[in-house]
Amino acid sequence: MTNNAKIISINDLKSNDPSYLETIFSIANGHLGVRASNPVNISDTAGTIVNGFFEISEIVYGEKAFGYAKNNQTIVKLPDLRQIKICDGQQNVFHRSELKAESLDMNNGVLVSTYKLTNDLGKSVELTVKSALQQANNQVIGLRYEIKPIDYTGRIKIVKHLKAISDGEETDDPRKSRTVHTLTYEKHDVNSKSEIVKITTQISKMYLEMAIYTPAALEQKFELTDGKTINFDVIGLVGEINEPVEFTDMPTFEEVIKGSSEFWEEFWKNSEIKITGDDSLNQAIHYNLFQLTSSTGRDGKTNIPAKGLSGTGYEGHYFWDTEMYMSPFFAYTNPQIAQKLIKYRYSILEASKKRARELGVAKGALFAWRTINGQEASAYYPAGTAQYHIDADIAYAIDRYYKVTDDKQFLENYGFEIVLETARFWKNFGSFSEIHGKRKFCFFDVTGPDEYTAIVNNNYYTNRMAKFNMGFAVDLIDEFPEKARELGVTDQERNELANISESVYLPYDQIKGINQQDDSAFEKPIWPFDTTPKDNYPLLLHYHPLMIYRYQVNKQADTLLADFLFDDLSKEQYLREYDYYEKITTHDSSLSRSIFSAIAARIDLKTKAYDYFMDTVKTDLVDLQKNTADGLHVANLGGSWLTVVNGFGGLQVKDGLLTIDNHLPDEWKKLTLRLQYLGRLLQITYTNKTTQIEVLTGASIKIRVDGTVKMIQA
């Protein structure tokens, strides 16, 4: 174990699988990501990934119906910026490679990889590759190749060019990406020091330019002698989509490192978490926050791919994961990024209105379940489009951002319209029905977060979120009356939304004393867990969906997720619900364990909280889901922060006050975290006996701490 919590090395990992290591040591800056590939051995899994750069292919259905998603959107894997060729004086290539050491320093964002390279004559040299990405100017990567002799001295030739990436294997695994065959490459040799490759997608009609530049030449010869190290620096450029790259004011490698260091220093100042009592967990949470931030689009045009920019799994699509699992971290630590994520949703609002009409809803917007450009790309609607709750998830994220920042101007200019259009969707999508002798507003044929229970009536999570969404819209109509009139809101519409919000049906089982996942949930038999082989998980890869749907079995937290978000149950009901739903949940989704951990912490199920957190925080570092090679589980990275801060730290905004309840695990001596709230930078320190809060910047503030309202002095 490395001593510094912000450094992770190959020695900290149990697996040496090359594709897995490519993912773990990948680096990114929200615009581009580079997998930590072996620079001299070509790999099908290596390459560069650009957020939002995708190709289209037609979705082929055996039987197609009106309104089905039309096209796949698949993120494109681009030339590997790390690749290099090294020869001796007789042109013998050093092509056999052994990884000797690798480490990622999260203090400055620098990845260092060291290899032993051997040619066919059995002679070897040592190659160290240092890589860093600019974070402010997000088009720039700096690469330094350092070559030392092992048992070879003499002439060395280095050749650096951009080469097209090879196609990977086709797969039926829905978690992986399909292969893209419709790219064209056009190379422009500017001069001996630089070259540009233009990559064009044939169907989506997008292009992107990649370039490399070196101060000397792309092909150089050196004399390698004992005790000498050869340095070969390369600056890579990855342009914005549909914009040319320009070789102006090219930074040196040292300047790239300096810029990266400054970004991460500022980041940790606002986002630091320190766990005292378990060094491995401390390292893991730092890794998760580093990679989560690296993965996140920050331009208002892009979002967070399900695998970040560490791999092409899930085709680079954006899901509800952003709002429920990832944007909470940014709202509380880097609100400017949370704002950009909302702006992305605003940029696809018109496409979402069109999608609502395709689904037969006359007014409002329905955001695509999985998408890059705003159009629905989910070919399986029962576990895709039917998850209408994404509308309310986005509204909830806007509410969270508003409560944490009090950014009225942004809310009025961007957030309000999204909240209103999603509320209008619910109003026109649902209908009144008589339930238990009362007139209630219901939502039929929906799918909640649990994708093992599809097309049901009155999913509790969906109904609860829709109720919130419409109520929030009413609050904003009252707060911003002029903007409401500008958006066409009438008094009648306002009152209808208020009435419907109050009338939404929330399923509850009187006998069990718990919220019921949906109208039919408790009528189904429980999945035969005792006779299900361990190798048959995840269930979705071994059983037909219709078989899974007819049982009580959950892929992930569903009703419990609503309980976590609203936190308004008695402890007794919390315990009953937790006990019931835990027994039927497989955690086949990486999103699940963080919620189970956070709730367990809140209701003092300490052992469960800690065990689930151990799996959550190390999901990728131990390859818990067995598919980290395809890319990081980025939503789970955010989920681990939720567990620490909202679970163990008990942090919420309630009744207009920041509320903190100490649930520190017995295994930890201390937890220290930093966050931003209403313009203040706060530091909160938990021990098993005390909770201390400091205002590091900003004015004094009232906070409810362990049940008591206190004025925290600046």
**Binding site per annotation, positions:** 320-321, 555-556
List the structure tokens of 29: 């800056």
Other Cβ atoms closer than 10 A to 179: 15
List the structure tokens of 68: 């089905």
Burial class (CB in 10 A: 0-12, 13-18, 19+), 172: exposed
Amino acid (1-letter code) at residue 615: D
Close Cβ partners of 683 (under 8 Å, ≥ 6 residues apart): 672, 673, 674, 693, 694, 696
Asked if 325 and 594 count as a contact pair (C-beta separation under 8 A), the reply is yes
Q: Can 451 be counted among the known catalytic residues?
A: yes
Q: What is the CA radius of gyration of the chain?
A: 26
Close Cβ partners of 558 (under 8 Å, ≥ 6 residues apart): 448, 449, 450, 453, 459, 460, 461, 517, 581
- Which residues make up each annotated binding site for substrate? 320-321, 555-556
Strands 657-660 and 701-705: parallel
Strand order in the sheet with 7-9: 7-9, 96-105, 110-118, 124-133, 140-149, 230-238, 207-213, 194-201, 183-191
Please give the Cα distance from 282 to 53 (Å, whole number): 34
Please give the Cα distance from 274 to 284 (Å, whole number): 11
Q: 187: part of which helix (H) or strand (E)?
A: strand 183-191
List the structure tokens of 142: 């700096």
Please give the Cα distance from 550 to 571 (Å, whole number): 31
Q: What are phi and psi of 68, to 5 degrees?
A: -60, 150
End-to-end CA separation in angstroms for the chain: 38
Please give the Cα distance from 188 to 174 (Å, whole number): 37
Per-residue b or e along 89-103, where b marks 16 or more CB atoms closer than 10 Å to that residue's CB: eeeeebeebeeeebb
List the structure tokens of 429: 């999508």
Other Cβ atoms closer than 10 A to 63: 5
Asked if 271 and 638 count as a contact pair (C-beta separation under 8 A), the reply is no
User: Could you give the C-alpha distances from 682 to 87, 678, 696, in angstroms and in order?
Assistant: 55, 10, 6
Asked if 517 and 558 count as a contact pair (C-beta separation under 8 A), the reply is yes
Query: Which position has the token pair 């990622």?
Result: 104
Asked if 310 and 295 count as a contact pair (C-beta separation under 8 A), the reply is yes
Other Cβ atoms closer than 10 A to 482: 8
DSSP structure string for 681-698: EEEEEE-SS-EEEEEEES
Close Cβ partners of 98 (under 8 Å, ≥ 6 residues apart): 115, 116, 118
List the structure tokens of 190: 């500017």
Query: Which position has the token pair 């969404």?
Result: 469
Angle, CA of 289, 291 and 296, to the nearest 5°: 95
Give the active site residue among 209, 376, 451, 577: 451
List the structure tokens of 5: 């919590």
Q: What are phi and psi of 225, to 5 degrees?
A: -125, 165
Q: 114: part of which helix (H) or strand (E)?
A: strand 110-118
Query: Which position has the token pair 């340095």?
Result: 231
Positions marked active-site: 451
